[in-house]
Chains A and B, each alone.
Chain A
Amino acid sequence: DTEVTQTPKHLVMGMTNKKSLKCEQHMGHRAMYWYKQKAKKPPELMFVYSYEKLSINESVPSRFSPECPNSSLLNLHLHALQPEDSALYLCASSLLPTGNTEAFFGQGTRLTVV
């Protein structure tokens, strides 16, 4: 199993809603990542979890709250988002939390904030 599974694939939410994005991998990877990608732009790193601990937060607004319940799961809790937060949210995992290992990406969640 070399898949990273993200749910839901599409999400529309209002600015006052609370929602969560989910990511799952069963490859035994110890690093997991959240990226945000706007149209025709490269993915932007948001968070890195290393051995289930948050190791990198790229100055992401607090309306995005990551959570790593166990080594296979990664969540991104969303609250009070703005329309400009609409984007493709990508989850990735790698065996080790270094920049020298192959990362596997999910298909992403297309988020629209209305």
Chain B
Amino acid sequence: LAKTTQPISMDSYEGQEVNITCSHNNIATNDYITWYQQFPSQGPRFIIQGYKTKVTNEVASLFIPADRKSSTLSLPRVSLSDTAVYYCLVGDRGGSTLGRLYFGRGTQLTVWP
């Protein structure tokens, strides 16, 4: 089971770029890396997913080095509404028909005006 390690908290100011790094040293060959965002008293929301190199969508970029032992979520020009907990997950296939989504401790991002 791939375990993830993230910083517990980060602070930023509006308009800045934020990079949150996640370590996953024992990631398996077939595992993807997925990031979720969660606001208080709401369910997590999918942000981005990738396997290697770089993935970009309308809200974030995900950078994955060649060894895949870490990944970095990049949020461009954050706003106050980006204050949330960000979770990095590594998919555990657990067999052809089993699936587990395990959440690590997450990173509390606080954006200040």
| Chain A positions near chain B (C-beta within 8 angstroms) | 4, 31, 33, 42-45, 48, 50-51, 55-56, 88, 90, 92, 94, 96-108, 110
- Contact at A94–B99, with CB atoms within 8 Å? yes
Contacts of B104 in A (CB 8 A): 42
Contacts of B32 in A (CB 8 A): 99-100
| Cα of A31 to Cα of B41 in the assembled complex, Å | 23
| Chain B positions near chain A (C-beta within 8 angstroms) | 30-32, 34, 41-46, 49, 87, 89-94, 97-106
Q: Return 16 A-B CB contacts under 8 Å, by A number.
A: A42-B105, A43-B44, A48-B99, A48-B100, A50-B99, A88-B41, A90-B43, A92-B44, A94-B101, A97-B98, A98-B91, A100-B34, A101-B91, A101-B99, A104-B46, A110-B41
The minimal Cβ–Cβ distance linking A114 to chain B, given in whole angstroms, is 19
Q: Which residue of the partner chain, among B30, B42, B92, contacts A108 with CB atoms under 8 Å? A: B42
The minimal Cβ–Cβ distance linking B84 to chain A, given in whole angstroms, is 13
Per DSSP, chain A at the interface is strand
Per DSSP, chain B at the interface is loop
Residue of B nearest to A110 (CB): B41
| Cα of A98 to Cα of B31 in the assembled complex, Å | 10
- Contact at A103–B98, with CB atoms within 8 Å? no
- Contact at B46–A50, with CB atoms within 8 Å? no
- Contact at A99–B99, with CB atoms within 8 Å? yes
| Cα of A34 to Cα of B30 in the assembled complex, Å | 24
Q: Which residue of the partner chain, among B91, B102, B103, contacts A100 with CB atoms under 8 Å? A: B91
Contacts of B94 in A (CB 8 A): 56, 99
Contacts of B103 in A (CB 8 A): 42-45
Residue of B nearest to A88 (CB): B41
Residue of A nearest to B44 (CB): A105
- Contact at B97–A55, with CB atoms within 8 Å? yes
